[in-house]
Structure 1
Amino acid sequence: MTSNAPSAARETEQLRELVASARVVLWDFDGPICRLFAAHRAEQVAVDLVEWLERQGPRGLLTESERETPDPQVVLRALARRKPGGGLVAALEERLTREELRAVACALPTPYADPLIRTWTAVGVRLAVTTNNSPCAVRAYLESRGLVGCFAPHLYGRTRHLDHLKPHPHCLHRALNAMGAAPATALMLGDAPSDLAAARAAGVPFLGYARHEGKARALRAAGAGHVVRSLEPLLHVLRGDRPVR
């Protein structure tokens, strides 16, 4: 325990610095706020999207790896690259939105996310959601938790312009512009390398959240300097709690 104490103290101090400089916090949705597909599995949604797409007639729109992906966003992006702006892309995006809305009913809140959101709001920090998920699903989830007032109207999610999905910084720029915030006064809280890339492109400091070691490794490999495995220490820092000795 003694050998870990200096490292823990440094991490706490780094969190304090990030929190102290943040006047605006840009949250990714699926991960830092909740596990959207906790029960309504993303893997099955991806399978269903692929099967639906193949029933529409065109062949060869997806590679083998894209057909087998567990991530429905990969299916949508792949089609958007090959059929940009088409009706088929719009229909697939609508299907994904419906699946995300279905998933809201059984989504699991990320531990400590709700009190962290409420505490940040209470101390006067403004919050926004910047996500690749549908803003309709984001609003439905936040309403179910009584949290929408902490964010609204700043919910910036997927639009029909799929080339603007993260790692493109478009949704971060929308949030910053709408809130009149300089990038250096903001903090992006995300759980994927695409979140980090978007934050870098927008000039926004980044804090990674990783609920398991695999995500932590991916974030660090992408260059994230600050990664937490739980939101609990962030909540303690925000509240000014003294460390338990």
Structure 2
Amino acid sequence: MATATENLREVINRARFVLFDFDGPICRLFAGHAAEDVAKDLVEWLERQGLRGLLTEEERFHPDPMVVLHAVNRRHPHSDLVAELEARLTQQELKAVPSAMPTAFADPLIRTWSAVGARLAIATNNSARTAASYLESRGLAECFVPNIYGRTQELHHLKPHPHCLNRALNALGAAPSTALMIGDAPSDFEAAQRAGVPFLGYARNESKEKQLRKAGAQAVVGSLEPVLRELRGQA
């Protein structure tokens, strides 16, 4: 236990720039507007366009809307169809913002990290508009703006590609070794690895922790509370 605490302390102490994934470490975006319903909406829209055959049976019933978007992009990359589908997903994400559930301790952690002088950014596969809208609703926007980097229509740049992390690092003028990425998925960990950024995993349940550990993440917390406690100990 002491070793885990020491590892966490070291990770936090080194961080001068903190890159947050959005959906997970900051909130559960689809807590009140189910992701399954969003995926279903995208599939039904494709079917209304006469494009049911673009998706496999598994893709048609997958609960993750990003699976639908990626599937269409693989078959019609850089197309108007992908652009329209991405725009529909963004609209659904924005509709989810009012019912999103804040991650426990995320708000005070963000405010405290900002107050002690760290510079913060968002690096997410969600729309930057969605992240900005949520942060504004929580009074957190000033901790991040303008450094919010999210999904574009260049879907090959989504994590695990390090594109949004590299954009954040460049904008902040940060050396990768002085930054920290906080994410809840193996794709976050891989993107951090590829960008050369230290990583702290947030796992809200045992399944998430197993996925992160299997991917190779060494520092993983089940709550942001010990991160906040450690940070407040520095202040």
Which category of TM-score, normalised to the shorter sequence, fits these structures?
Answer: over 0.9
1:203-242 maps to which residues of 2 (within 5 A)?
Answer: 203-240=196-233
CA-based RMSD of the aligned residues comes to: 0.9
Match of 1:57 in 2: 50
- 1:160 pairs with 131, 148, 153, which one? 153
Aligned to 2:144: 151
CA distance in structure 2 between the partners assigned to 1:152 and 1:27 by the alignment = 13
- What is the CA–CA distance in structure 2 between the aligned matches of 1:211 and 1:153, rounded to whole Å? 28
Task: Read off the aligned partner of 1:151 and give its amino acid letter.
Answer: F
Contact 1:31 1:191 in 2 (8 A): yes
Mapped pair 1:30 → 2:20:
no
For residue 19 of structure 1, report the CA deviation from its aligned partner.
0.6
Partner residue of 2:80 out of 64, 83, 87: 87
In structure 1, how many angstroms separate the alpha carbons of the residues matched to 2:232 and 2:5?
13
CA distance in 2, matches of 1:220, 1:61: 34
Residues 34-63 of structure 1: CA distance to partner in whole angstroms, max 9, x if unpaired?
Answer: 000001000111111111112112342112
Partners of 2:10 and 2:173 in 1: how far apart? 22
Stretches of structure 2 lacking an aligned partner (at least 5 in a row): none
Separation in structure 1 between the aligned mates of residue 54 and residue 36 of structure 2, nearest angstrom: 19
Q: 2:100 and 2:63 mapped to 1: Cα distance?
A: 17
Question: Which of 24, 33, 38 in structure 2 is aligned with 1:40?
Answer: 33
Percent sequence identity is 68
Shift of 1:167: 0.5
- What are the Cα deviations for residues 139-198 of structure 1, in whole angstroms up to 9, with x where unaligned? 100000000000000000001111100010000000001111010100000000000010
Matched AA of 2:103: T
1:19 aligned partner, one-letter code = I
TM-score after normalising by structure 1: 0.94
Deviations for 1:13-51, whole angstroms, at most 9, x for unmatched residues?
A: 111100111110000000000000001000111111111
Structure 1 CA distance, aligned partners of 2:185 and 2:47? 29
| Aligned-partner SS, 1:216 | helix
Residue correspondences, number: 234
TM-score (norm 2): 0.98
Give the Cα–Cα distance (whole angstroms) in 2 for the partners of residues 215 and 55 of structure 1: 35
Residue 20 of structure 1 pairs with residue 13 of structure 2 = yes
Asked whether the equivalents of residues 12 and 237 of structure 1 are also in contact (C-alpha less than 8 Å), the reply is no
Match of 1:172 among 152, 162, 165: 165
- Please identify runs of 4+ aligned residues in structure 1 that moved more than 4 A: none
